[in-house]
Structure 1
Amino acid sequence: MSTAPDSAARRTYSYLGPAGTFTEAALAQVAEARDQQWRSVRNVGEALADVVEGRSDAAMIAIENSIDGGVSTAQDALATMPGLQIVGEYLVPVNFVLVGRPGTTLADVSLVAAHPVAYAQCLHWLSAHLPAHAHLPAASNVAAALDMLDGSSNADAAIAPPGILEHHDLEPLAEAIGDNPNAVTRFVLVSRPGALPAPTGADKTSIIAELPDDHPGALLELLEQFSTRGINLSLIESRPIGDALGRYRFVIDADGHIENERMADALLGLRRFSPRVLFLGSYPRADRSIVHYPDRYADEVFVEARDWLRGLLAGEPAD
């Protein structure tokens, strides 16, 4: 049976490797992870299994991209692997460099290795600067470069994260080749369940919920649990449950913390409505943007309403 890492030893963090990935760049933002042990893994499932089975204290995974939307593999893993909690989120600007073996020039490039998602995000630049190139799909952005470097692939160049140049002897052929300079990937740090981060006023709550059945207005009823309490949703995406056609779960990010009265009330309403609600955590927003809401949804309004009802039940005179 797996055991949790020794608390006296250095903490272990799993991330999608090898060194030089965007996930590593996200983990570098975690102050408490510095000078700790970083465990490179091959996929999201392995990273989260490390946490569940006690090989790591936490794992950094990509959850959302500003261009491609939610990362379905991560969302599905969080929905189906019990014993996980999001404790923080981190944003990493996504841009790419074109790299080759030492001594390569741009004129030498005719075959470009790249992960399909990265390739699609650099296609305009490639079409403009290497119109006759061919694409060699790769398993990951870093693998594209390393396979080229060690001769495992015949590629002349590879699309890779800028951080790879800090770890490997590669020739930088072009920088900032991504077609969208505003592209950002959102990462979350996932641990085993424990004490929640304290509310900061700039928080986010993540949940996954299922509809009770398929009927007109069912999704609206789910969303009303939040809208009637003044809670904004920054993400809502559907993912198939997998047991039948037309059955979906909804991945939701809501502005606020579970210790906020309005959020707690919304989750209670959602629990009564949905056959399955998975609470993934409340944690500080990466952008530290304060959550604003109308005064009628302030905590003291909910507290006063409960006190009023308690008084009625106790037979106290109504105001």
Structure 2
Amino acid sequence: MPVRARYTYLGPEGTFSEIALRTLPEAANAELIPAVSVTAALDAVRCGDATGALVPIENSVEGAVTTTLDELATGQPLMIDREVVLPISFALLVRPGTQLDDVKSVTGHPVAQAQVRRWLATYLPYAEWESASSNAEGARLVRDGRFDCAFAGEFAARRYGLEALVTDINDVAGATTRFVLVGRPGRLGDPTRADKTSAVVWLAHNHPGALLELLLEWAVRGVNLLRIESRPTGEGLGQYCFSIDAEGHASDRRVAEALMGLHRLCPKVRFLGSYPRAGGSLPRPRHRTLTTPGTGPDQDDDPAYTRSADWLARCLDGREAATPREAA
């Protein structure tokens, strides 16, 4: 009998992380194991107890899930294999018979609180909030009588014997959360032309223009950054590393050269993988440098870089003098 793959996720059962994981083909015939925290989920991968972990990394309203960013930047290296973007809407889950006027205490994940803050101020202005490790854990605590209600997915109500007193709660319509499937380092998948590359970089020195130098490695090659977050390194005030998502695959010439440039400039670069971008959006790289931007996307073979590489090869073997590049 073949061994079933094991995937862990931020639990307990009934979290948005579980729902996101179940959308992936990897989960179809796998054993799915809830973890008590993001750290525990990733540690299960590091020690070999799980093939991968599905954890939240970014919310369209609240921003980064900093625990995930910090865990990926430290400890035994891990790599992102793919991402999932899930629409998020909350329900107010209560024990049967509870009315809105009965609610004095509320719980949920801290990222959920940021997405329902205005609703809370309008309808439960005097309720006391206490965070839980996940929204489903909040539902479990309500079931056990620790709190009067929890913000969680409506799908969690049946699992914990609760009722959805109010549904479709969200201060911002169309809110989404991005999750990443993380595994141990391995060979990258083939590029799809709709990819994302993630890395964490540390500055060598804190001096004027230090961050600009880092950003220029991407900009002069026409690579668009989708996200950049500064995170404290723990080495003292003012000491930061930068978590970056960029368009493209590490096998793309533009992205590869940018990564090599960062490796040359920075004392430490942690590569977090290249993987298909959720939604399949194609990048639109700039053809030239900062001073002469192009007007459209490159083709599959990235002709601007191909022409430059061919020209340099001719220069190196003496077939062509170092003349100005022909106009495109």
Is 2:105 aligned against 1:111?
A: yes
Is 2:84 aligned against 1:90?
A: yes
Q: What does the per-residue CA deviation read over 1:195-225, in whole Å, with 9 as the maximum and x for residues that have no partner?
A: 2122111111001111111111010010000
Q: What is the TM-score with the length of structure 2 in the denominator? A: 0.89
Partner of 2:307: 304
Which amino acid is 2:151 matched to? I
Q: What is the TM-score with the length of structure 1 in the denominator? A: 0.91
Partner of 1:288: 280
Structure 2 stretches lacking a partner, 5+ long:
289-293, 324-328
In structure 1, what is the Cα distance between the partners aligned to 2:251 and 2:24? 24
Asked whether the 8 Å contact 1:241–1:247 carries over to 2, the reply is: yes
Partner of 1:77: 71
Partner of 2:21: 27
Q: CA deviation at 1:177?
A: 1.7
Which amino acid is 2:254 matched to? R
Q: What does the per-residue CA deviation read over 1:129-153, in whole Å, with 9 as the maximum and x for residues that have no partner?
A: 33443334434322222122123x1
Partner of 1:3: none
In structure 2, what is the Cα distance between the partners aligned to 1:137 and 1:241? 25
Asked whether the 8 Å contact 1:141–1:159 carries over to 2, the reply is: yes
Q: Provide the alpha-carbon RMSD of the alignment.
A: 1.9
Asked whether the 8 Å contact 2:199–2:269 carries over to 1, the reply is: yes
Say which of 145, 149, 153 aligns to 2:143: 149
Q: What does the per-residue CA deviation read over 1:68-89, in whole Å, with 9 as the maximum and x for residues that have no partner?
A: 2111111111111233110101
Structure 2 counterparts to residues 150-165 of structure 1, below 5 A: 150-151=144-145, 153=146, 155-165=147-157
In structure 2, what is the Cα distance between the partners aligned to 1:187 and 1:108? 35
In structure 2, what is the Cα distance between the partners aligned to 1:145 and 1:244? 38
Partner of 2:59: 65
CA separation of 1:316/1:11 partners in 2, compared to 1, >3 Å: closer, same or farther?
A: same
Asked whether the 8 Å contact 2:89–2:168 carries over to 1, the reply is: yes
In structure 2, what is the Cα distance between the partners aligned to 1:207 and 1:137? 30
Say which of 188, 195, 201 aligns to 2:193: 201
Asked whether the 8 Å contact 2:9–2:41 carries over to 1, the reply is: yes
Task: State the secondary structure of the residue aligned to 2:155.
Answer: helix
Which amino acid is 2:227 matched to? L
Say which of 158, 166, 181 aligns to 2:173: 181
CA separation of 1:278/1:137 partners in 2, compared to 1, >3 Å: closer, same or farther?
A: closer
Which amino acid is 2:58 matched to? E
Structure 1 stretches lacking a partner, 5+ long:
1-6
Say which of 265, 274, 277 aligns to 2:266: 274
Say which of 120, 128, 143 aligns to 1:126: 120
Partner of 2:30: 36
Q: CA deviation at 1:166?
A: 4.4
In structure 2, what is the Cα distance between the partners aligned to 1:180 and 1:287? 21
Task: State the secondary structure of the residue aligned to 1:32.
Answer: helix
Asked whether the 8 Å contact 1:20–1:162 carries over to 2, the reply is: no
Asked whether the 8 Å contact 2:139–2:157 carries over to 1, the reply is: no
Task: State the secondary structure of the residue aligned to 2:185.
Answer: coil
Task: State the secondary structure of the residue aligned to 1:176.
Answer: strand
Which amino acid is 1:272 matched to? R
In structure 2, what is the Cα distance between the partners aligned to 1:107 and 1:302? 65
Which amino acid is 2:163 matched to? E
CA separation of 1:135/1:295 partners in 2, compared to 1, >3 Å: closer, same or farther?
A: closer
In structure 2, what is the Cα distance between the partners aligned to 1:105 and 1:229? 58
CA separation of 1:16/1:277 partners in 2, compared to 1, >3 Å: closer, same or farther?
A: same
Q: What does the per-residue CA deviation read over 1:225-268, in whole Å, with 9 as the maximum and x for residues that have no partner?
A: 00001111010011111223222111000011111111111111
Q: Report % sequence identity.
A: 46
Q: What does the per-residue CA deviation read over 1:50-103, in whole Å, with 9 as the maximum and x for residues that have no partner?
A: 111110001111111112211111111111123311010111122210111123
In structure 1, what is the Cα distance between the partners aligned to 2:39 and 2:20? 18
Task: State the secondary structure of the residue aligned to 2:150.
Answer: strand
Which amino acid is 1:170 matched to? L
Say which of 283, 305, 314 aligns to 2:317: 314
Asked whether the 8 Å contact 1:20–1:166 carries over to 2, the reply is: no
In structure 2, what is the Cα distance between the partners aligned to 1:131 and 1:210? 43
Which amino acid is 2:317 matched to? A
Which amino acid is 1:97 matched to? A
In structure 1, what is the Cα distance between the partners aligned to 2:223 and 2:110? 36
